[in-house]
Structures are given as structure tokens and as C-alpha cells.
Structure 1
Amino acid sequence: MKNPATNTLQIGYEYISSDEDKIIQEMIDEMQAQMDRVYAQKKMPRQIHTKMHGCVKAKFIIEPDLKEALKIGVFKTVKTYNCWVRFSNSQSKPQKDKKKDIRGIAIKLMDVQGEKLLNNKRHETTHDFLLMSSETFFSKNIKEFRGTLKASTAKNKLKLLLYFLNPKHWSLLKRLMGTFIKCKNPLEIPYWSTQPYRFGALDKAVKYYLKPSADNCYVNENIKEPHYLKINMAQTLYNHPAKFDFFVQFQTDATTMPIEDPTVPWTSQYVKLATLEIPPQQFNTNKQLEFGENLSFNSWHVLPEHRPLGSFNRVRKRVYEFMAEYRHKKNGVPDVEPKADASFFNNVHIHDKNRINVAIPKNKALKKTAQVTINCSKATAFNFITNGEKLPNWLKKHGSIPAVLYTKNNAETYDFVGAKRTVYLDKNQSTLEELLSYNPFANYSYRITEFTNSIKHFSNTAYAQVWFNTIDDKTRITWDYTFTYKNIFSRLILNLILTFVFKKFMQASLNNAKKYIENGD
């Protein structure tokens, strides 16, 4: 607010316009109308930051030896919070990752004691931080933003074009385009809160800043797939951690670093308060992706010491709260805050478990290899080859080798070391497969036992390894099959079968996969 005596802005204070409530309600009505129109007969996603790249487990580690003035709210004591971190694109209508966009990160700390500001989640033990890939926002105030929102949510898309053709809106358009970025990996870019927050006392305001660590290692092999940000993040986190430094930036001048105008960058120094540490993990599972889609975030779901400031945060409170409740109700999914227990990280450190200590034998064993090069990405090839439902599409009958009919997993999924599945073949035959290693988009291996066909007379166990390599923007698949043999006689017969029958089956199968993927059957 303005100081009534001097009519000057004060640090940490807000100025609330008389028509703010009316504008916010109009925005809610417009967003609801658009969502009802677009998603009338299907599941409703969140309105903003719709496209998710992944929701991962992490630690939020408070810095030791903070100055007393910095020991506020969640930073009051030295502590490590378990948390969920959601990465996203901002557009309401999901688009290809190669297009410029605002990228977002939402952090949900757990085991944060104390009442929160949101009435319906006052007693929850979670706490949210919301940041995005632009230091500043494109609208100066909510009245200006409301005009953009009205044009962008209109049923007639021509209205948005006409809106930006108006010379009065060109400066807004320039700022908007300046917030859009391209990136190769959500883990390698910085994020800002853009909007300010209280830091304890009424005359203390800060913005948040998240900076990726210089020690991070990234895997960015793919920049052509429509969803390559998810792929690159998954490949990175499969074997590498990712760390971010969490800073605050204090408002030191109320005029040059305003609360109510987020288009103006603040110029004060950054002060580090915590580290966000994301351990290696596999997050790209249906269960975890669904969890991330149903999770809700709100800049007001915080301790009072971190109260959001500024008109856009006041908009967020009502809009996010209403739309989250509306979305969950329409989808028939409860809006539940997660809780962490001692087992939170039990299934995270898969880089220590991605191989079983079983050596593929070289003695008393026969190996055959097949290769094919497919005009697709590694992710597409890997997802197709490892999908049990797709096996009948490429493991077809060839000579005396029967076709695969279907598979049955012994666990919920077949995507972790030790997972087993039964493969049912034609002529009432079957085998049991067990994953020995699983490195998404790179390679995997498995052991085959319990043969019910004639192979059982010559071999008890076989081992398969599959590699995926990028060759001139295409993917080369290499498939090794190693059979053990029981005795010299078995070796002779098995070698004939593998040379004249099974190797041809392997090559024909990979050719089937190539045809299926490239033709989009």
C-alpha cells in the first residue's frame, strides 16, 4: 500500500486497486468457460502449466549457519525436507517442446509444521514454491493481463490475433515473446518466482531464484521428439543427480523494485538459503505421471511468514484454488496433499540397482546377433520394443519359431530390474523372462528360462541384450541372444537351430519392428 502521509511506496507493502475483485472473478469465469468448452466430454487438465515433463522426488536442504535474519519460516532451522517437484510448459494447449514457451517448476515440501494460508489446506503439512523460466512477467498489472486472457480464451481464435494487431498491445506482445525460451532439458535452466513474497516481517519482501548447479551432468541426446524434454530429463536422472541452489532476493528499494509491477526485474543481490537435490530415479511410469497430473500447487499454500505479495499472487490465490477444486471434482479425483514417510526414497536410487550381478556366460554358450536401423528416435524404438503389448506386432511366426501371442507380468509393470513376465507363444508354448538391467532409451537385458518347447532339451537358460544407438538421426538396434547348452550333443543341435532358424527369426523380427514403427501401423 502507499504511505498516506508521504504518498510514497513502502518496502514490502501492496497497493490494491478498487476493481481487483471484479477483474479476478471475470478471469475465473472466462477460464471456466474455456475449460468446459474444450474438455466437456473428457478429462480436464490444469488450465496453466498443462504439459508436464515429470514429477520427481527430491530433497530441499536448508543451508547451515544462516544468519539470524534469514531464519524465517521453512528456513528457521537446519533441516532436509522431502519434496515433490513438477516440471512443465506453461501453455494451456500442449505443444511440441521445440516451440518456445515459459517453462515452470513447482516444489511441494513435506513435513512443514504450522498452519498455512489456504483455508481448505490450513492444517496440511505441505508447502509450495512456484517458479518459472523468466525473471519477469509480461503484464504490468492484472487489468492488462485480463485483456490478454480474454482474447486467448475466446472461442473465436481470431480475437487473439486482432488483440495483438492493435498497436496499443505491441509492447505487451514484445514482453510476452521475451519470456518464451527454448531449452534442451528442464534440469539445466534457471527459474524465478517472478512474483514477490513476504519474508517474515511486514517490511521484508523477497523474490525466489533457482539456479542449476555447475556440477550437474545432463543427457541431451534428443531434441526432435515432440516430448523431448521429458525424455532428456528421464535419461539424465536415470544415472545422474541434479542440484539447484535456492536463493532469495530482497526488495531494497520500493520504487525501482516494485511489488505490483512484475515486468520490472529486481537488482539486489541473491542470498542462498537452500539446495534442491534431485537424486537419480525413474519417474516416467504411468503411476507417477498420473500422480503428478493430479497434484495441485498454489502460491498461497505456504506458512504466513512467506505470504505472497502483489496483484498477480492475489489472482493466483482465487484462480488456482477455484480451478484446482473444479478440475478435481469434474475428474472425480480427490485433491489430496502427499505425505512423506521413511520409505519415500526407497525406490529412487535405481542407479545402484539397474544391474543384477549375473554375468552372461561365455563358456558353454552360443550367441547370435541381429541388427536393424530404424528412422526414429531412441525413445520411440525403446518404448516400442519393451512394450509387452506390442510384442505380437513384431515377434511373429518365422519358420518353426512360433509367434508371440501375449505376455503376463508377474508384477504391476515390467520396467525394473528383477521384474518377470511370462511370454505365451503359439502352439501352447511359453517362456519366463526376467529383467537383468533396464536403462531407458539406451539398453536392457533379460534372462529366459522355463522353456516349454523343444529348446528345453538342449538349454536351460538363455540371455538377451538389446542396445539402442543413434546413427545419423536414426536408431540402430542391436539384439544379442546367448543360449547355454547342456552337453556336446546339445551344442551341436542347438548350433544348427540357432544358425539356420533362430538367427533368421531374430532378423525378421527386427525388420517387422522397423516396418511397424516407420509405417506407423
Structure 2
Amino acid sequence: MFTKIWMGFGVLLLRLLIGGLIIGLVVWILSSTWFAWHDRGPVSAAEQIPPGESAMSQEIIQTAIRIVDQHRESTRYLRDAHAKAHGCVNAEVQVLSDLAPALRQGVFTEAGKTWQATMRLSNGNPFPQFDAVTDARGMAIKLLDVPGAQLLEDKPERKEQDFVMFSHPNFFVSDVAEYQQNIAAQATGQTWQAFFPTWWNPRSWQLRHLLIAHATLAPAPSSPTEATYYSVSPYKFGSANAKFRVKPDPQSCPEYTLAPQNEKLPNFLRNALNQRLSADRIPACFVLQIQRQDPSKYMPIEDTSIEWKESDAPFETVAKVRVPAQDFDTPALNLACDNQSFNPWFGVAAHRPIGGINRLRKAVYEAVSDYRHSRNAGQ
């Protein structure tokens, strides 16, 4: 009797499992079909600003400042994102000498030109944590002594061009409205609300964005120099629109194998960077690439959750990036790194940031940077 009941229970569980797999397969097929139908071109090559975006940006600024207050270290105020740096290093960005005429735009106009630059490598989280924790990784590059009028007219003395990137090709929010929802959930510690704002209404669930966030929070690379970084949001590239990517270019540097790192240490990524550049005195090499928008394909400007497919528009190399051997990990240099500001709006009109997330950055980056620097003044 007992055996018969137990076998019947097993058969029921097997049927439930098979039924669940069938339902999951059907849902996957239907959702894939729907996205294939919905996410297709053509798209606009011009920005489209929704109503209420400015008001939402002001609310986001207040929330971001609240996060800065929550995550300060003792009396020192940190960034609202990418708070933990692995280091700021000197770099050289050399425009290709044989660059095609159509790609000679902005800071890439002069073929063979070498720009001196600063590069910041970081974790993405707004709170410093062990490097082994899954996270996005960031790279920001600042070209120095860039001639021409700056986009921010109140800061004409900067003479810079910044490229701000992180280690995933698309973002887990589409626009400013979703970013407002996401950052509000972060500030209250109820992160599930970022993707399930109303749990009783499945139509409000953002499962695709949850999957993007899960993919973004990846295990740490063996070194910050061995990851690929993406602009995620688009920029002007002369008269075209484009996204940027920086990826390792090991064949342009001496052959190097990083010694195994103790990944249980809280700052093993900084240690790996220090091992290569300072101890072993081996430079790191990258290529800087652009991906130009083809408006006949589904490559939208206003939705940063959509990855621009390489099959629709390949990346094209416009410059080589070289990080020479150097000593960067000193108290003075680390403090200077912490005080350094990177902003996609630090730059020239030929590379003007476009799209809702970039418009938001213009307001938020400057407000949070000013707040953080005013609190840290004199420290």
C-alpha cells in the first residue's frame, strides 16, 4: 500500500516537472517571437524626449545624493556608482595612422595623433565590497588637452574628452522613467521593486531587464586589463550616431601571463593591476572601437536595454590604447584618483552624448560630483 502511494506520488511529481518544462518552453517561444516582432527596425536617428523627463531627473538627483550619504566611508563621501577604484593610471590613446576618412571625427580627426590620458578602473557597486562579489566593472578614459569648445559651457577650462564605459553591452533599464524606479528601489534596500514594481500586476514585471542585470553582475575578471568595456549609451560621431567599446589587444603588447591572484583578498583586482604595471613592469594594451548606428536596423537611441547587434553594425577600430608600466598605488595618487571626476558630457560637440540616459547623466553626474566634492573639501 505504502509503495503504491509512493510510486503514485513520484509519477505525479514527474508529470508536474514535464508540464512545467513544457509551459516554460512555450513561454520562451512566445516571448522570443514577440521580441523578434517588436524589436525590429527601422528606428529614429534623432533624439525623442518624453514629457516629464526633466522632473524625473531632479528626483533622481535627490535619490542619488541620498545614496552618497548612505554609503560614505566614515566622513569621506564616495561616488553614487563605481565607488571602488582599482586605480587611476596614465594612458596613451593613439589614433590609427591609416584611419578611413569617414571615421576621422572629433578627437579622431588627425590620423596618428597620440593623446595623453587618464584611465580609471573600478567596480560598479555604489558601496565598496570584495572584488570577488559579482558586479559590473567600469573603465573611464579622459583625454587631456583637447582643443575646441567644451559641451559644458560653464567649464570651458577643462579641455577634456571623457569616455565612460562598463563591462556589459546593454543596460538593465531602458530610459529615465525606469532608472527612477530602479534607483529608488536601491535607496530603500528593496531591490526587488526595481524589476517587480507591482508584484500583483505581471504586466509591470521586467523579466528581460532582470536577466540583463543578472548577466551584468558577473564574476570578476582575473584583472581589470582583461575585461571588455562598452559605452552602453550612444553618442554623436560627427554626423552619425555611435557607441564605443574598449577591448584588450594583447598582441600589441609584450606577451604576458599574470601570476595567479588570491581572489579571497578584498582588493585582488587592484593587486593584479599593480602586479602587471608596477611589479612586472609590463604595459597593457587595448583597442578603442566605435559601432555606428544603422537606422534601418533595430538600433534605438532612447532604449539602452537594447544591445546593438554586431551582425547589424560591426565595431570599427579607431585608436589604440596603451597603459605603460608605472607606479600608481600610492596614498597621494589614490586620493587624486578618488577626487577625479569623469562625465560623458566632459568633451566636444563631435562626441555629444545622446539619448535619455545620457541626458540624465548630464544632470546627475554634475550634481552628485559637486555635492561629493563639497563634502570632501579639506579632507
| TM-score, with structure 1 as normaliser | 0.59
Matched, 1:205 2:241: yes
User: Which of 29, 32, 48 is equivalent to 2:65?
Assistant: 32
- Quote the Cα distance in structure 2 between the aligned partners of 1:82 and 1:210: 16
- Quote the Cα distance in structure 1 between the aligned partners of 2:289 and 2:208: 30
Q: CA deviation at 1:92?
A: 0.4
Deviating beyond 6 angstroms after TM superposition, the runs of 4 or more aligned structure 1 residues are none
Q: CA deviation at 1:68?
A: 1.9
Identify the residue that residue 97 of structure 2 maps to in structure 1.
Answer: 64
Higher relative contact order (CA 8 A, sep 6+): 2
Identify the residue that residue 131 of structure 1 maps to in structure 2.
Answer: 165
> How do residues 84-233 of structure 1 correspond to structure 2 at under 5 angstroms?
84-154=118-188, 157=189, 159-161=190-192, 163-164=194-195, 166=199, 168-182=205-219, 183-201=221-239, 204-215=240-251, 217-222=256-261, 223-233=263-273
Q: SS of 1:92's equivalent?
A: coil
User: Which of 280, 294, 300 is equivalent to 1:258?
Assistant: 300
User: Which of 203, 220, 243 is equivalent to 2:285?
Assistant: 243
Q: 1:86 to 1:274 in 2, by over 3 A?
A: same
Identify the residue that residue 47 of structure 1 maps to in structure 2.
Answer: 80
Q: Which has the higher strand share?
A: 1
Q: 1:41 to 1:244 in 2, by over 3 A?
A: closer
Matched, 1:234 2:271: no
Higher alpha-carbon Rg = 1
Identify the residue that residue 318 of structure 2 maps to in structure 1.
Answer: 273
Between 1:105-114 and 1:217-226, the stretch displaced more is: 217-226
- Quote the Cα distance in structure 1 between the aligned partners of 2:207 and 2:223: 30
- CA-to-partner distance for each residue in 1:428-449, whole Å, 9 max, x for gaps? xxxxxxxxxxxxxxxxxxxxxx
Identify the residue that residue 371 of structure 2 maps to in structure 1.
Answer: 326
> How do residues 417-432 of structure 1 correspond to structure 2 at under 5 angstroms?
none
> How do residues 330-341 of structure 1 correspond to structure 2 at under 5 angstroms?
330-332=375-377
Residues paired across the two proteins, number: 322
Q: Which amino acid aligns with 1:173?
A: L
Q: 1:174 to 1:75 in 2, by over 3 A?
A: same
Q: Which amino acid aligns with 2:136?
A: I
Identify the residue that residue 461 of structure 1 maps to in structure 2.
Answer: none
- Quote the Cα distance in structure 2 between the aligned partners of 1:230 and 1:219: 13
Q: CA deviation at 1:27?
A: 0.3
Q: CA deviation at 1:330?
A: 1.2
Query: Mind listing any 5+ residue stretches in structure 2 that lack a counterpart?
Result: 1-41
> How do residues 78-89 of structure 1 correspond to structure 2 at under 5 angstroms?
78-89=112-123
Q: CA deviation at 1:231?
A: 0.2
Q: CA deviation at 1:254?
A: 5.1
Q: SS of 1:208's equivalent?
A: strand
- Quote the Cα distance in structure 1 between the aligned partners of 2:362 and 2:246: 22
- Quote the Cα distance in structure 2 between the aligned partners of 1:120 and 1:324: 15
Q: Which amino acid aligns with 1:29?
A: Q
Preserved contact between residue 115 and residue 123 of structure 1 (Cα < 8 Å): no
- Quote the Cα distance in structure 1 between the aligned partners of 2:56 and 2:249: 40
- CA-to-partner distance for each residue in 1:49-101, whole Å, 9 max, x for gaps? 10000000110111112222211110111311111100001100111111111
Q: Which amino acid aligns with 1:219?
A: L
Q: Which amino acid aligns with 1:136?
A: N
Q: 1:333 to 1:251 in 2, by over 3 A?
A: farther
Query: Mind listing any 5+ residue stretches in structure 1 that lack a counterpart?
Result: 1-7, 335-521
Q: CA deviation at 1:218?
A: 4.2
RMSD over aligned CA atoms reads 2.0
- CA-to-partner distance for each residue in 1:99-119, whole Å, 9 max, x for gaps? 111100000111211111013
- Quote the Cα distance in structure 1 between the aligned partners of 2:145 and 2:174: 36
- Quote the Cα distance in structure 1 between the aligned partners of 2:134 and 2:242: 28
Identity among equivalent positions (%) equals 33
Q: Which amino acid aligns with 1:258?
A: P
Q: 1:37 to 1:194 in 2, by over 3 A?
A: closer
